[in-house]
């Protein structure tokens, strides 16, 4: 008697939070385009099918990408109603408004603005590493992976370092709320946190309208696209919330995942110590091997055939970037970390097409600088024995929430 194909669920078992890749392998093999009864959506797991979805925004819409499969409880909706309306902001928007907003953000996050941040990024990272380099043991998530991107995106947006802790707390609230599997009282707390960051950002927007500064908030206020109207306060709040979350959470998870990949493959660590010019390739492999964003939602504009399966009009899809990145049909020895692989550039760790991550250059820079400093300053870096890795309990965002390491302090 054959066993039924695996069922994808938002209520991940602990073993899948720790390591979802065996589940993804079974999905690709047995049910590559599967309807999840629990999540009320279709799960797409093979590389070519995921790529088809990402490169066809006309048939696969991004609107409502963050809408939870299970409607929020009335208490959560009531808490959210105390804030501003949540309007689309790049990731969950479609052309033509997506085009307008992306052009505006691209101008505000121009390459010269990002490259000009490198000395500041290096100074922040060095300050953070200096604070624990003599200790011989640390949680790299709490001491580096979270505070580094939080301070960097805060500096770009023009937010004070003194607000770092509450911004971090609000980011965690948003992550918890998006997962949709916390107890209702906790979701209500998180909804209040989301309202709090909306009001916080509204205050900064009002300040920049009165007195512009050389920061991202002012640049977004002033940016225009052809004859379309400037961004409204509600649009700015949604956009800034998204940029802060992505610039903080996603980069922190990428750095954590990259460090884990290297520490679990000591030969890679040795190679990077010998030749730091290999670090960018290692970052690309980390994006493929253990993507910080495991997937994203889409909705079909019309009935489509995907992977030989008929998917109806208006169907919700979860396209699994992380599964696609482990597809043997696309990558040689996909379950082995190999930064020097010739096919690494095909990964979907930052998405693909019109929704390719707009902050990818900044994230790559931050992680490169952090890895350079870790390899330079922490000899003998290794995972602390007896301390299992603990991952963020979210099926879309993956990264260690604690990463205890040891080294041989000078």
d(CA 148, CA 128): 8
Please, what is the Cα angle at 146 between 351 and 231, to 5 degrees?
Answer: 55
DSSP state of 397: B
CA dihedral (274, 278, 283, 289) positive or negative: negative
Beta carbons of 294 and 397 less than 8 angstroms apart: yes
Structural Rg of the chain based on CA atoms: 21
Distances (CA, A) of 225 to 91, 106, 157: 18, 11, 20
d(CA 230, CA 179): 32
Beta carbons of 83 and 194 less than 8 angstroms apart: yes
284 Cβ contact partners less than 8 Å away, ≥ 6 residues apart: 339, 344, 345, 347, 349
Beta carbons of 107 and 220 less than 8 angstroms apart: no
Q: Please report the domains of the chain, with CATH numbers, ordered by start residue.
A: 14-406 (1.10.630.10)
Buried b / exposed e over 255-271, threshold 16 CB at 10 Å, is bbbbbbbbbebeebbee
For the chain, the farthest-separated pair of C-alpha atoms sits apart, in whole angstroms, at: 71
- pLDDT score of 363: 95
Buried b / exposed e over 170-185, threshold 16 CB at 10 Å, is bbbbbbbbbbbbbeee
CA dihedral (304, 305, 307, 312) positive or negative: positive
Beta carbons of 49 and 32 less than 8 angstroms apart: yes
Please, what is the Cα angle at 243 between 208 and 215, to 5 degrees?
Answer: 30
Each residue's pLDDT, cut to its tens digit, for the chain (410 residues) gives 445 666 666 555 667 788 999 999 999 999 999 998 888 899 999 999 999 999 999 999 998 877 766 678 899 889 999 999 888 888 889 999 898 889 888 888 878 878 889 999 999 999 999 999 999 999 999 999 999 999 999 999 999 989 988 888 888 888 788 767 788 899 899 999 999 999 999 999 999 999 999 899 999 998 887 778 888 999 999 999 989 888 888 999 999 999 999 999 989 999 999 999 999 999 999 999 999 999 999 999 999 999 999 999 999 999 999 999 999 999 999 999 999 999 888 999 999 999 999 999 999 999 999 999 999 999 999 999 988 898 988 888 899 999 999 999 87
Question: Which of left, alpha, beta for 380 (phi over 0: left; psi -120 to 50: alpha)?
Answer: left
pTM of the model: 0.92
How many Cβ atoms are within 10 Å of 339's Cβ, its own excluded? 22
Q: How many residues does the chain have?
A: 410
d(CA 310, CA 75): 37
Task: Write out the two tokens for 360.
Answer: 């990818």
Beta carbons of 120 and 155 less than 8 angstroms apart: yes
Cis peptide before 331 (omega within 30 of 0): no
Task: Write out the two tokens for 179.
Answer: 């997962």
- pLDDT score of 3: 58
Sheet containing 137-139, strands listed edge to edge, beginning at the edge strand earlier in sequence: 137-139, 404-406, 382-383
Beta carbons of 407 and 376 less than 8 angstroms apart: no
Helix 251-263 and helix 266-274: axis angle, to 10°? 100
- pLDDT score of 1: 43
Task: Write out the two tokens for 301.
Answer: 């504009």
How many Cβ atoms are within 10 Å of 316's Cβ, its own excluded? 19
Task: Write out the two tokens for 199.
Answer: 């009001």
């Amino acid at each position: 008697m054959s066993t039924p194909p695996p069922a994808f669920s938002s209520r991940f078992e602990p073993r899948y939070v720790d390591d979802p890749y065996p589940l993804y392998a079974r999905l690709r093999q047995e049910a590559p385009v599967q309807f999840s009864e629990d999540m009320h959506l279709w799960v797409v797991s093979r590389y070519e099918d995921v790529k088809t979805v990402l490169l066809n925004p006309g048939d696969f819409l991004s609107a409502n990408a963050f809408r939870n499969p299970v409607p929020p409880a009335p208490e959560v909706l009531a808490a959210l109603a105390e804030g501003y309306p949540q309007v689309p902001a790049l990731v969950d928007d479609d052309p033509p408004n997506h085009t307008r907003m992306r052009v505006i953000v691209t101008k505000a996050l121009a390459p010269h603005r990002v490259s000009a941040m490198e000395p500041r990024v290096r100074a922040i990272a060095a300050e953070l590493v200096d604070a624990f380099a003599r200790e011989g043991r640390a949680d790299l998530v709490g001491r580096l992976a979270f505070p580094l991107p939080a301070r960097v995106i805060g500096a770009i947006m023009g937010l004070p370092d003194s607000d770092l802790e509450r911004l971090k707390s609000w980011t965690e609230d948003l992550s918890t709320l998006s997962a949709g599997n916390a107890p209702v009282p906790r979701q209500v707390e998180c909804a209040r946190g989301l309202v709090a960051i909306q009001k916080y950002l509204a205050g900064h927007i009002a300040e920049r309208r009165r007195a512009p500064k050389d920061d991202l908030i002012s640049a977004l206020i002033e940016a225009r696209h052809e004859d379309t109207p400037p961004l409204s306060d509600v649009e700015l709040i949604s956009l800034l919330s998204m940029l802060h979350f992505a610039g903080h959470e996603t980069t922190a998870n990428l750095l954590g995942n990259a460090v884990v990949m290297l520490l679990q493959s000591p030969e890679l660590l040795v190679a990077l110590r010998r030749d730091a010019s290999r670090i960018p390739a290692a970052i690309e492999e980390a994006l493929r091997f253990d993507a910080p964003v495991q997937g994203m939602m889409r909705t079909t504009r019309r009935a489509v055939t995907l992977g030989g399966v008929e998917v109806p009009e208006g169907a919700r899809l979860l396209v699994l970037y992380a599964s696609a990145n482990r597809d043997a049909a696309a990558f040689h020895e996909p379950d082995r970390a190999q930064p020097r692989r010739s096919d690494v550039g095909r990964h979907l760790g930052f998405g693909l097409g019109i929704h390719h991550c707009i902050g990818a250059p900044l994230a790559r820079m931050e992680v490169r600088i952090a890895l350079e400093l870790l390899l330079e300053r922490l000899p003998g870096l290794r995972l602390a024995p007896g301390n299992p890795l603990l991952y963020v309990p979210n099926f879309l965002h993956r990264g260690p929430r604690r990463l205890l390491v040891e080294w041989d302090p000078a």
